[in-house]
């Protein structure tokens, strides 16, 4: 290549241009102009709107993880609060249910106590209120224990009633408690009177697996007695006051081969659910003395040996 065609000046190492200060001044002036123009004439509003529309999907995609995290935190917080509220509601509900049961029990107890007070006024006999503590431990007898004893003036043989009728009789007395044998015990008997016919009889306790009750024994098959008859105390035994409700006849079985009818009765007193009872004073002191007892207490005349008279006395 000819030497005359070569450029003898070397190329600059850095390409020369406007200085940095010049660029700063120019760009600052342009920025100031654009700000003033946008403030006055809103020239950048369409551009800003277009850029917002273009960048919205990217912004939405970037914000989704943050919203999901916030939503999950809110969900678990709400779930915990809901579970806590449910637990508190169930606890309040259980407390209210317990109070409701206590209220029903107290209402029933008050009703029975009012009926017991009405029974006490109707009987007109001295009575002592008592509460049933527990059933006797003997499984072959029907007995209960009350919280009144010798220190409270309870005597053996005293009749015991509840608000519905005769419950039993005091058979054993301790200093602070007493044992009451219920009417349904197999060793218990009570003279009764049929309020419809006026016929007296004796009711015996008849415990059974199908249901404890009473039985009228030695009643002729031809006797006038029917289901539904009310039996009350006759008062002839000197223990139970007359007129106390005892039982109601539930079944009458008459058999041709037997002269006696089998009569089952249901006691009116709550023999299985008594809570408060009345212990009545025995009426034996109000009865006149028995003629046989008076004859036995009368002293015999002295024996005399007269001449010619033979004494047969021992």
**Residue range 158-185, pLDDT digits in tens:** 999 988 889 999 999 999 999 999 999 9
Residue 9 belongs to some domain of the structure: no
> Do both 82 and 145 map to the same domain?
no
Residue 239 and residue 142 in one domain:
yes
Residue at which a domain ends, from 123, 152, 185: 123
Q: Which two tokens stand for residue 10?
A: 């070397």
pLDDT band, very low/low/confident/very high, at 313 (cuts 50, 70, 90): very low
- 215 and 117 inside one domain: no
**255 found inside a domain:** yes
Same domain, 239 and 134: yes
Query: For the chain, what is the mean pLDDT?
Result: 81
Same domain, residue pair 140 and 112: no
Lowest mean pLDDT: which of 86-90, 139-143, 156-160, 232-236?
139-143
Q: How confident is the model at residue 7 (pLDDT cuts 50, 70, 90)?
A: low
Are 171 and 260 members of one domain? Answer: yes
How far is the C-alpha of 170 from the C-alpha of 277, rounded, in Å?
12
Instruction: Report the pLDDT value the prediction gives residue 75, as an integer from 0 to 100.
Output: 83
- Whether residue 295 lies inside any domain: the answer is no
Same domain, 112 and 176: no
For the segment 78-99, the average pLDDT, to the nearest whole number, is: 84
> Any residues with CB less than 8 A from the CB of 313 and at least 6 apart, and which?
303
**Residue 71's pLDDT is what?**
83
pLDDT of residue 307: 43
Q: Is residue 17 part of a domain?
A: no
pLDDT at residue 258 tops 80 = yes
How far out from the chain centre does Cα 209 lie? 26
Specify which of 42-46, 69-73, 179-183, 236-240 reaches the highest per-range mean pLDDT. Answer: 179-183
Which band of pLDDT confidence, cut at 50, 70 and 90, is reported for residue 288? low
Asked if 281 and 126 count as a contact pair (C-beta separation under 8 A), the reply is: yes
Query: Domain range holding 169?
Result: 127-287
pLDDT value at residue 18: 77
Specify the pLDDT at position 14: 56
Q: If 0-12 CB within 10 Å is exposed, 13-18 middle and 19+ buried, where does residue 214 land?
A: buried
Q: What is the mean predicted confidence (pLDDT) over 181-207?
A: 91
For residue 196, pLDDT over 80 is answered with yes
118 and 133 share a domain? Answer: no
Kindly state whether residues 111 and 231 are assigned to the same domain. no
Give the model's pLDDT for residue 87: 87
Q: Reply yes or no on whether the pLDDT at 67 is more than 60.
A: yes
Same domain, 160 and 67: no
Quickly count: other Cβ atoms within 10 Å of residue 148's Cβ.
22
Beta 230-233 vs 178-182: how paired, if at all? unpaired
266: which strand partners?
A: 248
Residue reference for tokens 């915990």? 80
Instruction: State the Cα–Cα distance between residues 83 and 238, nearest whole angstrom.
Output: 69
Q: Which of 29-33, 73-77, 97-101, 122-126 is predicted most confidently?
A: 29-33
Same domain for 65 and 133: no
Measured CA to CA, the distance from residue 238 to residue 289 in angstroms comes to 11
pLDDT band at 4 (very low <50, low <70, confident <90, very high): low
In the chain, how many domains are there? 2
Q: Would you say residue 305 lies in a domain?
A: no
Among 80, 102, 123, the domain-final residue is 123
Distance CA 148, CA 128 (A): 9
Given this model, what pLDDT does residue 125 score? 79
The reported pLDDT for the residue numbered 298 is 54
Domain membership of residue 179 (yes or no) is yes
Q: Is the pLDDT of residue 43 over 80?
A: no
Same domain, 100 and 246: no
């Amino acid at each position: 290549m000819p030497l005359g065609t070569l450029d003898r000046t070397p190329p600059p190492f850095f390409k020369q241009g406007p200085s940095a200060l010049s660029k700063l001044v120019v760009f600052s002036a342009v920025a100031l102009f654009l700000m003033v123009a946008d403030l006055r004439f809103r020239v950048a509003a369409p551009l800003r709107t277009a850029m917002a529309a273009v960048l919205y999907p990217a912004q939405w995609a970037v914000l989704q993880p943050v919203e999901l995290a916030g939503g999950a935190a809110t969900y678990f917080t709400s779930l915990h609060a809901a579970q806590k509220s449910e637990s508190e509601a169930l606890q309040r509900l259980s407390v209210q249910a317990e109070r409701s049961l206590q209220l029903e029990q107290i209402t029933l107890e008050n009703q029975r106590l009012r009926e017991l007070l009405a029974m006490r006024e109707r009987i007109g006999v001295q009575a002592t209120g008592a509460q049933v503590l527990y059933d006797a431990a003997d499984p072959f007898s029907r007995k209960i224990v009350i919280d009144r004893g010798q220190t409270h003036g309870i005597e053996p043989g005293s009749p015991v009633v509840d608000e519905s009728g005769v419950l039993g009789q005091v058979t054993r007395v301790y200093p602070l408690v007493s044992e009451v044998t219920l009417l349904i015990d197999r060793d218990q008997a009570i003279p009764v009177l049929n309020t419809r016919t006026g016929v007296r009889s004796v009711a015996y306790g008849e415990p059974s697996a199908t249901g404890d009750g009473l039985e009228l024994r030695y009643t002729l098959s031809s006797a006038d007695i029917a289901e539904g008859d009310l039996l009350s105390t006759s008062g002839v035994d000197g223990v139970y006051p007359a007129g106390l409700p005892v039982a109601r006849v539930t079944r009458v079985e008459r058999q041709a081969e037997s002269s006696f009818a089998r009569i089952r009765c249901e006691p009116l007193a709550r023999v299985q659910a008594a809570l408060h009872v009345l212990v009545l004073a025995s009426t034996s002191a109000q009865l006149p003395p028995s003629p046989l007892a008076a004859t036995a207490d009368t002293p015999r005349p002295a024996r005399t040996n007269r001449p010619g008279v033979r004494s047969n006395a021992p």
